[in-house]
């Protein structure tokens, strides 16, 4: 089996090219792989023919294969990607007026057992490699107008439980010689893995952070997100307070609204209290329903009422559902198992 080059950093590519090559060859290969989106090693025209041949005999670019593309009536595209071991994972492209958002996965399935999320029903199959994370971007991001692209690691999986690969992929995506994205345009979302929040904060090159809050009390959070038994809400909030934001950065908190469960005015006021003294903004997500999910979506009026209370104290937005008709919206990623009716 040829080894995949996708996901290798410059030092690893230098080794792949071999000790006889001048160092600039590895850089040319790096640029061709990521910025140039090369699909075939034999055709990287910046490299000499003998090196191309030598590389192609031992390595492959190593992109996942596109198994299916589902297209929504709102323009959203859900990519079902097949990995080299036959497992599948999802990536969602959401084109909008002045920007495109690409939602990528960090694991196959997810080990965190949130009761409102369909991905939880899969359990964890395995971590994605850095190459499989970067590969999703190379396959699904539109070639042109990269300046418009936002990447969110909010697909399948809990990114902070795969932090080394997530950080390595981030370095490649942000490197001007790699994919060349701005650090303001990539966000990682966590269910609240407290020790890894601090670790992320120490990384010199890192994405922005979003935290899935989803409840206003410890008891409710425990019920909705059993991970809270291990990582208490109080400790999560402390980790958020200690998190080293860059000057241009805010912490994002996501809050899934479940009808008559966590959507009252009192919940909204408690959310405000929890986030007092943080440089934060809130994204509200009305539940995207699914089979086997034992909750309902609140009425739009209730969502607006919740937002009005939070907005008195901090920026608060309602996340528009995208790709509901193709099971591409938040909490709906569950691969081919989810057939479209
Ligand atoms: N594991 C990470 C990354 C997933 S992000 C995390 O938990 O943050 C997915 C976002 O969608 C999370 O904020 C999650 O709370 C939200 N979500 C999950 N299921 C949902 C559903 N059925 N409807 C709306 N949002 C949901």
pLDDT at position 338, please? 46
- Summarize pLDDT for 74-110 with one digit per residue, the tens: 999 999 999 999 999 999 999 998 899 999 999 999 9
What six digits make up the tokens of 206? Answer: 């890192």
Q: β-strand 3-4 against 186-190: which pairing, if any?
A: unpaired
Q: How far apart are CA 260 and CA 46, in angstroms?
A: 60
What three-state secondary structure class fits 228?
Answer: helix
pLDDT at residue 70, rounded to an integer: 96
pLDDT score at 291 = 87
pLDDT of residue 144: 74
The answer to whether 108 and 124 are in contact (CB under 8 A) is: yes
CA of 262 to the centre of ligand 1 (A): 15
Which of 128, 221, 285 maximizes ligand 1 atoms within 8 Å of its Cβ, making it the mutation to test the pocket? 285
Cα separation, 26 vs 9, whole angstroms: 10
| Structural contact between residues 209 and 247, judged by C-beta atoms closer than 8 angstroms | no
- 256 CA → ligand 1 middle, Å: 7
Q: Is any atom of ligand 1 closer than 6 Å to the C-beta of 161?
A: no
* Annotated catalytic residue within 54, 90, 132, 158: 90
Residue 143 is among the residues annotated as catalytic for this protein: no
pTM higher than 0.85 for the full model? Answer: yes
Q: Splitting the chain (341 residues) into consecutive groups of 10 residues, what average pLDDT does each group show?
A: 95 95 96 95 95 96 96 96 96 93 97 96 96 97 84 98 98 93 96 98 98 98 97 98 98 98 98 97 96 95 98 97 93 67 38
**DSSP state for residue 217 in the 8-state scheme:** S
CB of 323 sitting under 6 A from ligand 1: no
Structure-derived torsion over alpha carbons of residues 183, 189, 194, 198, reported in degrees to the nearest 10: 0
Q: Specify the pLDDT at position 98.
A: 87
Given this model, what pLDDT does residue 336 score? 58
């Amino acid at each position: 089996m040829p080894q995949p080059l996708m996901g290798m950093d410059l030092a690893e590519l230098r080794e792949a090219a071999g000790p006889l090559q001048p160092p600039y060859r590895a850089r040319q290969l790096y640029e061709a792989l990521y910025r140039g989106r090369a699909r075939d090693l034999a055709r990287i025209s910046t490299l000499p023919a003998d090196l191309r041949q030598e590389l192609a005999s031992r390595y492959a670019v190593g992109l996942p294969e596109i198994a299916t593309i589902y297209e929504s009536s709102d323009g959203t595209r859900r990519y079902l990607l097949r990995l080299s071991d036959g497992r599948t994972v999802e990536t969602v492209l959401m084109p909008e007026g002045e920007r495109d958002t690409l939602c990528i996965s960090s694991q196959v399935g997810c080990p965190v057992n949130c009761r409102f999320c369909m991905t939880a029903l899969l359990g964890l199959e395995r971590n994605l490699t850095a190459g499989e994370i970067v590969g999703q971007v190379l396959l699904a991001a539109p070639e042109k107008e990269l300046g418009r692209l936002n990447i969110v690691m909010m697909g399948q999986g809990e990114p902070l439980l795969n932090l080394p690969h997530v950080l390595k992929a981030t370095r490649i995506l942000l490197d001007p010689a790699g994919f060349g994205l701005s650090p303001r345009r990539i966000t990682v979302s966590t269910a609240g893995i407290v020790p890894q929040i601090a670790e992320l904060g120490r990384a010199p090159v890192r994405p922005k952070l979003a935290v899935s809050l989803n409840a206003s009390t410890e008891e409710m959070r425990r019920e909705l997100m059993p991970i809270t038994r291990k990582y208490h809400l109080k400790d999560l909030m402390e980790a958020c307070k200690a998190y080293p934001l860059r000057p241009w950065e805010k912490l994002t908190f996501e809050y899934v609204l479940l009808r008559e469960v966590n959507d009252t005015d009192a919940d909204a006021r408690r959310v405000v209290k929890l986030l007092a003294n943080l440089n934060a903004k809130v994204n509200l997500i009305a539940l995207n329903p699914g089979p086997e999910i034992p909750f309902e979506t609140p009425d739009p009026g209730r969502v607006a009422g919740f937002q009005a209370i939070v907005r008195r104290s901090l920026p608060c937005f309602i996340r528009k559902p995208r790709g509901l008709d193709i099971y591409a919206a938040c909490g709906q990623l569950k691969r081919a198992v989810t057939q479209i009716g």
